[in-house]
A = this chain, B = another copy of it.
Amino acid sequence: MAKQTTIHDIAKALGINSSTVSRALNDHPRVSIKTKQKVFEMAKEMNYQPNVLAANLRTKRSNTLGIVVPHISRAFFSNVIAGVEEYAQQKGFNVIIAQSKDMLERERKSVQTLMNSRVDGILISPALGNEDAQHIQEVIDRKTPVFFFDRHYKNIETTRVLMDDQQISAALASNIIQQGAKRFLVLSGDLKTSIYQNRLQGINNMLADYELPEAMVQETNLTYESSSALIEQIVQEGSFEFDAVMAMNDMAALGAQEALKKAGFTIPDQVLISGFSNEMFSRFSSPPITTVDQNGDKLGYMAAKKIIDFIEDPDPIAVEETSTLKSELILRKSSQRYQ
């Protein structure tokens, strides 16, 4: 590391005190314009780079946000990250990322690491199928804000930025019912997770409204493979008795669609299909798959805004609010018999 210029070097070169340099650099009001100018010039000349670490140590603020997601490379989450980064960089915040891979142990470790790095706040979408939120509570107890996005721990009261899973699922179900479907099969992820509960709830509410029977539910890991295998099995068993498949992501929807096509069913004439999350491929499958666009980047932007605004002006009253972002229905051929 080549010797970096410090405020002391600038001070010495200018024959003034380093505290004045510090103030000038921070645009403190009680510094004369002339001094400021001199300082800025000299700083540029000496190629001064502020040592943020030192400032952070002093001010106990790092201007850094931590974000922990289950999987960085999943379309939805990478959009969220992009949104977070967008707002953060506007406000001069860094973003440190960590992924839990949906494992509690890694989530704990990630949170721990972020805390050690003295982030000013943590945005987290918790690992699936876990209810033990003690590690989160500890962070909050230490006065570092933790806000949830997309997923959340039920027993932690803090700001949440969620998607309108229940409403949009209801809207989607309604649309599919109007296409003539009566018996629904739902391909769900782990039902201990709030988002899947909410989506199922939305679907069943709508079915009830139309006085249709509750949806059949299969918990799977929502991959292409497991979903097509499941459908294949159901077809072989002859226990096939649904005319609509609502999958809780696009991979599973596509797996179901391909398995059904292979078994000789036509989509959407015999079975209606919908997915979730608007992965790019769902637009190009045959038929294209109806899905829900979740606007991950907007969610990220909003979550970042909430937590950064809170960090800059902690208002204890607003801490426990829950915001819900609107998703968008993307109706495509897989669920549209009539145009």
B97 touches A95 (CB 8 A): yes
Q: Which of A172-180, A209-217, A279-287 contacts the other chain? A: A279-287
Given contacts A73-B78, A254-B284, A284-B284, contact A85 B97 (CB under 8 A): yes
State A82–B96 Cα separation when bound (angstroms). 13
Q: Check A292 for interface membership: any CB of B closer than 8 A.
A: no
Q: Check A322 for interface membership: any CB of B closer than 8 A.
A: no
Q: Check A143 for interface membership: any CB of B closer than 8 A.
A: yes
Contacts of A281 in B (CB 8 A): 279-285
Contacts of A1 in B (CB 8 A): 60, 142-144
Q: Chain B residue with minimal CB distance to A296?
A: B73
Q: Check A233 for interface membership: any CB of B closer than 8 A.
A: no
A53 touches B57 (CB 8 A): yes
Given pairs A2-B143, A73-B82, 11 additional interface contacts (CB within 8 A): A50-B116, A51-B57, A51-B118, A52-B117, A72-B85, A89-B98, A89-B109, A94-B96, A94-B113, A254-B284, A285-B285
Residue positions of A touching B, CB distance < 8 A: 1-2, 4, 49-54, 56-57, 60, 62, 64, 71-75, 78-79, 81-82, 85, 89, 92, 94-99, 109-110, 113, 115-118, 141-144, 251, 254, 258, 279-286, 296-297
23 contacts between A and B (CB under 8 A): A1-B143, A52-B116, A52-B118, A53-B53, A53-B118, A64-B96, A71-B82, A72-B78, A72-B81, A72-B82, A72-B85, A73-B75, A73-B296, A73-B297, A74-B78, A78-B78, A89-B110, A95-B97, A96-B97, A251-B280, A279-B280, A281-B285, A285-B285
